[in-house]
Amino acid sequence: MRRATCSRRPAGRSCPRIDGTLLTHTGLFVTNMGLGSDMYRQQILDHYKNPRNYGELEDPDFTHVGENPSCGDTIQMQVALDDAGETIKAVRFTGDGCAISMASASMLSERLHGMSIEELDALDTDDITEMLGVDISPMRVKCAVLGRQVAQDGSKIHRDELDPDDRTKTEE
């Protein structure tokens, strides 16, 4: 952690100690971030630059597309289920969007392997923000949860609980 300099302090006055992270591109300290947050930020960037499970499945049990109308993010999730139709055995996604939406979809695609449909349906916004490991501003929550909503709605369409022509749109 770098320590702040007090260039605007009069000579002879000490600079108060500031605990936090210096955002070098802005020169601002953010005091609510610890070393763990930096690790999660790196993880988000890694998933954005090198998305896991990006692409298409040969024979998915369901495919669904959704969008975030406020920023234009679009994600398609494809899911293959086990023979009983109750457990996710493979997930792939494609799409175009911001770092948060794409990283979240990538991280979610890893997490969904081996998860039951009931567990997928039970995922909520807190699960996604916890998975990301950083505080998400209210405007970016829609980006973060897009992949989850697409997978959940795709599952509901597969079970005939939603109209297959409906396209998921983030509303949170």
Q: What is the pLDDT of residues 101-126, one digit of tens each?
A: 999 999 999 999 999 999 999 999 99
**Stated pTM of the model:** 0.76
**3-class SS of residue 166:** coil
Pairing relation of β-strands 73-81 and 88-96?
Answer: antiparallel
Residue intervals of the chain classified under CATH 3.90.1010.10 are 49-169
CB atoms within 10 A of CB 117: 19
Each residue's pLDDT tens digit, 10-32: 444 444 333 444 333 323 234 44
CATH number of 49-169: 3.90.1010.10
